[in-house]
Every structure is written in C-alpha cells, then in structure tokens.
Structure 1
Amino acid sequence: MAVSNGSWSVGDADQEEAARKEFEIWPLDESNVKLLNQVHPRTYKSTDEPPEVYDLIAIGAGAGGLVSSKQAGRRGAKSAMISEKLAGGDCLNVGCVPSKALIRSARAMKEVSRAAEFGIHLENVKLDFGAVMKRVRELRAKIAPVDGHEATEAAGTNVFQGRGRLTGPNTLEVNGQTLRFKVCVLATGGRPAVPKNIPGLLGAPYTTNEQLFNLQELPPRMVILGAGVIALEMAQSFALLGSKVTVVNRSSRLFASKGGDAEAAEILQNELEKDGVIFLSDATVSQVETIKGSADPSSFPLMKIKVADQELDCECLLVATGRAANIEDLGLEAAGVDFVPGKGISVNDFGQSVSNPSVYAVGDCVANVPRLTHMSGEMAKVVVQNGLAGDEWRLSSFVVPAVAYTEPEFATVGIMSQEQADKEGIEVDVYRAGLEHNDRAILESSNVGFVKIVTKKDSDEILGATIVADRAGDIINEISLAMKEKIGLRSLGRNIHSYPTTGEAVQGCGLQFINKSWTRFDQV
C-alpha cells in the first residue's frame, strides 16, 4: 500500500502558488484539490519495498504508463510506475477530459440559440463562464480517482513519484534509488510543439492546451495558431461561448497535409464559420507583439498578431501547431535506446526499442504513431503481452479511428479519401451516403454531412472511411471493427440497422456496393 504525507488544501497561498508553478493548475479550489490529491499528492511513498528486479517498470503515468503497469500488476507481475507530474497525463488533466466537458457546455449554448427552431422560446439567456469552467474542474476531479495513485497501487503496482531516468540497459534511477527491471516501458508522452521561428512568440504570454482549462473568464478575442483537432474543437467552443475567434491555417484548406477529404474540410469549415469562427487560410504569422503582459493568471494580457497585411488584437493566443515527444533527459543514451530527435523513440512492430530489447515505448513519445489516447492504451496492452508473455502482437495490425469532436463531428479511419489513396498510389472505389435524406439527421435538424467508405478497387474490402455527422465518433467504430475483422462492405449493407439512426448511412454505402451487381428482374 501507499502513504500520502501531506495533502493539498483550499485556501493555502503557498500551495496555490506551487500548484500554478509546478503543474500549471489553478485556481486551487475544491475540485483542483481533489484532483491533485489523487494524481500528485504533495508527498507520496510506497510502503512496499521494491523487489530485487521488477518484471515491468513504466516511466510515465498517462494512458500508456497506467495501462501497462496496472495490467502487469493485475496479472501477477512485479510492476511499478514512475509518475513525475500529474497521473492521468494529458488526457485527464489538459486534453480529452476537460476539452469534452467544455465542448458540452458550448453545445448547450448552441442548442439554446437554436431553441426557436424547435418551437421553444427562451428569454434572458445568460452565459456564466465561471460556472462553465467550474463544471469542467468538477468533472475532471470526478474522473480522476481511476487514474490516481491509490487505484494504481490497488491494481498491484508500486508507484514512485519523481523523475525516472535510465542508467543502463536494465536499470533506472528515481529519487536517488536504483531499480532493476526485465522490461521497461517508456510512456513519457508529449507536449505542445511551439514554433521557434515566429518573432515575439516565445516571449509572449501565449497559451497552449496545458493552460487553457484554467481560464475563469471568457477571453473577448482569441487567435488560434494551427487548424488541427485541438484548434478546431476549441475554436468552435469558444466562438459559441462568445469569444471572437480567428484561426490561422498555414494550409489552403483543412486537413490538406494529411490527405483528408476535401468535401469534409469544406463542410466542417462552413459549419464553424456559421458558429462565428473566422478562418485565415494560406496564412502565416509574421510577428507577435505583447502590448500588455500579466503576471496575474486571473487577468488577461493583450497581444497583437501580425498575419500578412492584417493585425489581430487578442487577449488569448492559443498555440495548437502540433505535438513534440518528451524524450529529453531520460537516459536513452545510457540505456542504448535509439530515437529520432524531435520525433520520438524508434520501435519495431512489437513496440520494442530497435536497439535495446528490454525497453519498449508507447504513445506520444514514439516516433511515427498516431498521437491518440486510445493508441497509447492499445500499445500498452501489446507491450505487456510481448514483453512479459513472450507473444508477438504487432502494432501493424492496429485499426485506429480518430475523431474531432466538433459539431458536426469528423471521424476517420484508415485510408480517408480518394485524395489520400491517389497520393499513396492505391486504386480504390469510394461509396458516399449523404445525410440530406437520412431521416434521423433530418429530424435532428443536423442533416449536413455524409459517410464515405473507401474500398479496394472492384472489391468490398474496406480500406478506410471518413464521416462528417453528429456522433460520427460512435458511428466510425462499426467500420473500424469491420476492417479489423475483415468484414466486407457487402456485409455492412446486409446488416440490419435500427431506424431511424444516422448510422444507417453506413448501411447506405453497403447497399450501393450491393446494388452494383443486383439482378434486374426485367432481364430475367
């Protein structure tokens, strides 16, 4: 079991300052106190003495570290996890969890603004942004215990709170103590990649997702650098809540660099523009000028952003230009672990370091893998099975969906589009079922979008899909399962779907494939 000596508490000015400086968490209210006491108690020590050799040690306490160490512990292995900052990683603390809570409030605001369309007339609607963010903090604290140290210890895993560094092929050091391992899982995650070549940016009071969810007042004006998933989700949310939001996109359209579907990009941008988001495409920032800084995290700075011949004033500059792997100061050289500077650790198809077979890596610290929470979790299961059970589960067998939780949602898996297939030299057929005639979408007044399924040319073998629709993230799972289990598009067309559901559009694509070879009765 574990000992927590000293708790975070409300009303302690020194603790408030420590939480802000060490973990960029504020305010230190009841919810954030509950969070910190779960994921980083002020002092923490496992009462269990470490064994001579651990079967598995995970460095990192995000999805990859939690899943690998806890699964190993539950299955009887001598397991440990090293947590330097906040257990739960980005997903719990500054990513998936708080962002989806905020998105829900933004969606509620949109529903209120559209209420008259549904015969409901509201008066005196008022936004309480402080209450919106209080709810975000409360829900994050409610979810936190599952990722907390107590739950990890209960799963049979020792928790060390500190920084872990490899010191040799099978050793590491934490808090001055040397631990030996048979398998080490590096799960150190990633961080926002901030451009270094924009004059004035690095010295400006910019924001990333790591600070965004501490806001207690709504910024009147927000400029977002980047047009990826985080950028789009937050752009729409803050615009719906009342900020004037401008997105600066270096590309000519959304998702262009990844071969994303052009029609999906157009629909999504149009829908966000209807919600008040301003897009500057084919645009780059030439300078960031700080007009007024702010040492007080509860007050806004003022910045001037120069984009081509425009100057944009804003109180919040959100940098969402990609992610960088956390691989510095890990002792990789001492352990003989190969890595690609700026990209991450090099692993083989089993999740194993290409240069040290005792070391595995999962999640955002790995080079050239999708940086998604569910990807980290699945990689962790693979390395436990391969590293401890001697199996050969392969990363290349993964079918990994991705979702942008905008409204409508944007979901993809595999080959996303004709454009991507052409770039990769793959011959495909694309089946499209639009939502303009989908009864559920019509009844919900949300019939903008489609399901597109990409198959191998002249075959029903599914290679991928793109969906733009309400709950696209739920609908994509049917297609992901079909791909994983080699279920063809013909079978999806013959699968009975509940009526009325937006998911019938998947069946619609399948029926299009079937109809190509229908027997015509006038020719019998």
Structure 2
Amino acid sequence: MKTRQVDVAVIGSGTAGMTAHKAARLQGKRVLMIESGPYGTTCARVGCMPSKLLIAAAEAAHAVAAAPGFGVHPGSVRIDGKQVMHRVRSERDRFVGFVLDGIDAIADEEKLRGHARFIGPGKLQVGEHSIVEATSIVIASGSTPIVPPEWQAAGERVITSDAVFEWTDLPSSVAVVGSGVIGLELGQALARLGVRVTLFARGNNVAQLTDPLVLQEAGAVLARELDIRFQTSVAHVEKTPDGSAIALTSRYAAGQEKTEQFEYLLAAIGRRPNVDQLGLETAQIALDRHGIPLYDPHTMQCGQSAIFIAGDADNALALLPEAADEGRIAGDNAARFPDVKPSLRRTPLTIAFTEPQIATLGATYRQLCASHAGRFAVGAVSFGNQGRSRVMLQNQGLLRVYAQFGSQRLLGAELIGPRAEHLSHLLAWACQAQLTVPALLDMPFYHPVIEEGVRTALRELALHLAKDPEHAPGCADCSPGV
C-alpha cells in the first residue's frame, strides 16, 4: 500500500471536482483528484448536453407538425431514429472530448484512479493500492439515478437517462416514471420523435414548480400533448416472457390498476448522492438523517472540519452552474483552511427545456409562504393572449412574480411559457441586483416582444404592493399551506 501526502484531496472529477481542483491549484497547493468511474462530467456524458441534442431533434419534428397552423403545409415527414441517435451520440462524444482534454491537461501525478473512502478525518484509502493523507478534503462524488430494487429485477428493459444516450435507434414505446425535469424533457422529446410515451407521476408535481396556479397551468398545458398520468403509481414491473418488453402495472389514486406493455421503462424519479460508500462514519463530521454531511452553503465546509463538499453530493440543487460554484468555493476554502471565508452564492435559477419551458428563480412560492407569509405580493400574466406569443403560436403558460411589501424588492418568480429560459435570466439578474418592482418598470421594453408579458405581470404586482398587505387582492393565497 503506497502512502501519498497532499494539501488537498478531491474525491470526484465531475464539474464540482474539476472546479475544486483548479481553485486549489490556483493557490499553489499540492492537489490530488481521485476518480473511480469514467472521466467526463455528468452534464457532458449523460445530462444537459445530450438531452438538449435530443430535444433539438424533437423541436425540428414539432416545427414541421406545427407549420400548418401558419398556412404552411410540408410534405410527408419521416423520422430516422438511427440518424437522430447518431447525431446525439456523435455530438455528445464531441462535448465529452472537450472535458477529457481538460482532464488530460492535469498532470498525471495529480490524478489517482480508484474508489476513495475515509479511514480517518484527514485520511483516505483508495482502492487496495493507496493511502492518501490530506490537510483538507473535498467531497465531489456526484450522484446516481435512483432505480428501486423491485424494478431492477425486470432487467435491462428498465433504464435510466444514462442509457438513453447509448441507443443507436429510437424505441417504439417508453414508460417514463417521474415528472421532474429529466422525465418531462426526455418524455416530451421522445413523444415528438414518434415514440409512444406515457408518463407516470405519483403526485401532481411538474418539474421544479411549487406555485399551485403555475403547477395547475403546467399540468394542463403539457397534458394537451403528452400522455401524463398524475396521481398514478407503479404497482408492479416485470419483463414479458419473450424479453422484448416490460409489463407495467400502474395504480391510480382511487385504487384501479391497469397493465400495459412498453419497450422500456425509463426511471426518472430522482438521483441519490454518492456518499454511502465513502466511509463518512470515520470522518468525524455530522450527517443528516439521509447520511449527507451537514455543511455551510456559503463556505461548503462540513462543520468546523477540514472536509468540504460540493456538487450533487450535497443533495441540494443538482445543476451544473451550482456544481461549478460550489466546487470553486469548496476548493478555494480547502486550500486556505483554516482561514475559511464565505463566498458569493448566486440567485437560484432552474430551467426545464420542455415546450413551453419551465423556470423558477430566486425564492420559490413555497419558500416565501414559509419565510414571508402575508408579507409578499404576487403579480401574474397569462401567455394565452400575449401578443408576441400569439404571433408565434406559442401562446400557452403562466408567469407569477413575487415581491416584498415595504421594500418592493423582487424576490422570485415561477413560470411556464415561451422562451422562459430568457425571461428567467432577466428576472434572476433583477433578483440578484436587488431591484425593486418600480425600478424594473422603468426599464425599456420593446414591442412586440415576449418580455412585454413580464411588464404586465410587474404592473399587476406594483398595484398589489401599493395596497395594505391585509387588503391586497389575492393575498390570501400567500399564506402557508395553500
């Protein structure tokens, strides 16, 4: 067993791990990055980039299908599944190649292959070949898709999003279980590419939304195009006798059951942090009831220890921008330990690339009901009759914006609507800049643009803010529990 001594050890080489390594190296520290799986980030290999490639193909197919609404009538459409997946895979490999170039640029002596586990607060065992003694350690071990054991028994017909991007052709049918971002994005994309898709949701959740009115609108809008079964659980899954499909028995809220066959079941019910095999019980740090280290989100430090955590491993927002920010903070503080300093945490921003797109930013409705009950107002706009949206035949969705009584500062927003990825950025920037609603209404708005819908919502919000909170229209729905 070889022993190595370093200043900072980083467990994981994903977005958080690579960023932490770079941050610590910039301070001149001896850094070692440890990886037990394939190099290349989740985003590039099986996440945001390949999924957007599949979505782009689906958007092209949908544009042809929607063209008659403009009086444009294309000829017959043929979707070549093999060609679709070839482009997805080849472009995916190109993006992964850029990440691997970054890994290759790291000196060999700063990389170590093998599974790391704690054998003490500042000591790791890597595989059966190395002991690493480090002044500080960054846990950036990522996450893994959740597949219940009873589903795994059905074999290779039960997959996660990781397997989708290894397909060489499109399947005939897929059951998608889970109405989070991954399930909705992939489910809608596959359906638009001609795959028979049914999406099963245990509750009424849609992506990351918490506002009950936006949730209601999102469910209705998406159900117009996609076969979504809300309040429906998976009771049983088994492989068909010939092994060519799975038989899925679903159970509705009222108790009725229905069995259907699909070529694949795509499990999209969430991801779990990769911390259970790290030997954290020997690290002498406090853990929550799920076994995740307790940490300060502004320093990423676990208690007062020399252990830091970043990315999906901390079970917060499993998003690339968050992983990059947390990796930078964790790596910087691990290098400067014990002189740990808080760093900037940006306004939360989450986007689902469905159509219409779904976004939340700043404080969510649920969070405000807990922290600002009766002290925040709501403004809204429906995109159903919004000018530019109607021009594009994309007039679906709802935006709700939130601001604080008194200060009139914008606190957050939730929406489903056209070009939400752009609208949400503007509003997130406004939140981080701590702009007030009057200040936002002083900003320029061109015509005709979708942003005029934002102005409509802000105008309604301003009217509510001008009233006494007890008499503000709609204030009742700001109370907890709604």
The TM-score by the shorter chain falls in which range?
Answer: 0.7 to 0.9
Long gaps (5+) in structure 1: 1-49, 295-299, 519-524
What code does the residue aligned with 1:381 have?
Answer: R
Long gaps (5+) in structure 2: 467-482
> Aligned pair 1:488/2:436, yes or no?
yes
- 2-structure distance, mates of 1:215, 1:317: 14
How high is the sequence identity, in percent, across the aligned residues?
A: 25
- 1-structure distance, mates of 2:242, 2:132: 45
Map of 2:277 onto structure 1: 329
Q: Which of the residues 421, 424, 449 maps onto 1:501?
A: 449
On the 8 A contact 1:192/1:323 being kept in 2, the answer is yes
What code does the residue aligned with 2:335 have?
Answer: L
On the 8 A contact 1:360/1:383 being kept in 2, the answer is yes
On the 8 A contact 2:380/2:458 being kept in 1, the answer is no
TM-aligned CA distance change 1:377 to 1:170, over 3 Å? same
Map of 1:274 onto structure 2: 224
1:122 shift after superposition? 1.5
SS across alignment from 1:114: helix
TM-aligned CA distance change 1:194 to 1:340, over 3 Å? farther
What code does the residue aligned with 1:264 have?
Answer: V
Map of 1:37 onto structure 2: none
Alpha-carbon displacement from aligned partner over 1:466-502 (angstroms, at most 9, x marks no partner)? 1212221222122222222222222221111344332
On the 8 A contact 1:345/1:365 being kept in 2, the answer is no
Alpha-carbon displacement from aligned partner over 1:47-69 (angstroms, at most 9, x marks no partner)? xxx99643322111111101111
1:379 shift after superposition? 0.9
What code does the residue aligned with 1:305 have?
Answer: T
TM-aligned CA distance change 1:292 to 1:102, over 3 Å? farther
TM-aligned CA distance change 1:332 to 1:447, over 3 Å? same
What code does the residue aligned with 1:489 have?
Answer: V
TM-aligned CA distance change 1:516 to 1:222, over 3 Å? closer
On the 8 A contact 1:337/1:345 being kept in 2, the answer is yes
Map of 2:173 onto structure 1: 221
What code does the residue aligned with 1:315 have?
Answer: E
> Aligned pair 1:377/2:377, yes or no?
no
Taking structure 1 as the reference length, the TM-score comes to: 0.79
Map of 2:480 onto structure 1: none
Q: How does 1:91-102 map to 2 (within 5 A)?
A: 91-102=43-54
- 2-structure distance, mates of 1:60, 1:517: 47
Task: Please provide the CA RMSD for this pair.
Answer: 2.7
Alpha-carbon displacement from aligned partner over 1:233-255 (angstroms, at most 9, x marks no partner)? 1111111111221111111x234
TM-aligned CA distance change 1:144 to 1:74, over 3 Å? farther
TM-aligned CA distance change 1:468 to 1:291, over 3 Å? same
TM-aligned CA distance change 1:512 to 1:270, over 3 Å? closer
What code does the residue aligned with 2:191 have?
Answer: A
- 2-structure distance, mates of 1:431, 1:223: 37
Q: Which of the residues 256, 269, 284 maps onto 2:233?
A: 284
Count of residue correspondences: 454
Alpha-carbon displacement from aligned partner over 1:410-449 (angstroms, at most 9, x marks no partner)? 00023333x6544556222001133244333222211212
TM-aligned CA distance change 1:407 to 1:333, over 3 Å? same
Map of 1:232 onto structure 2: 184
Q: How does 1:51-90 map to 2 (within 5 A)?
A: 53-90=5-42
Map of 1:254 onto structure 2: 205
What code does the residue aligned with 1:279 have?
Answer: I
On the 8 A contact 1:226/1:250 being kept in 2, the answer is yes
TM-aligned CA distance change 1:450 to 1:271, over 3 Å? closer
What code does the residue aligned with 1:202 have?
Answer: A
TM-aligned CA distance change 1:348 to 1:213, over 3 Å? same
- 2-structure distance, mates of 1:130, 1:343: 42
Taking structure 2 as the reference length, the TM-score comes to: 0.86
Alpha-carbon displacement from aligned partner over 1:1-37 (angstroms, at most 9, x marks no partner)? xxxxxxxxxxxxxxxxxxxxxxxxxxxxxxxxxxxxx
1:459 shift after superposition? 4.0
On the 8 A contact 2:170/2:195 being kept in 1, the answer is yes
- 2-structure distance, mates of 1:337, 1:153: 33
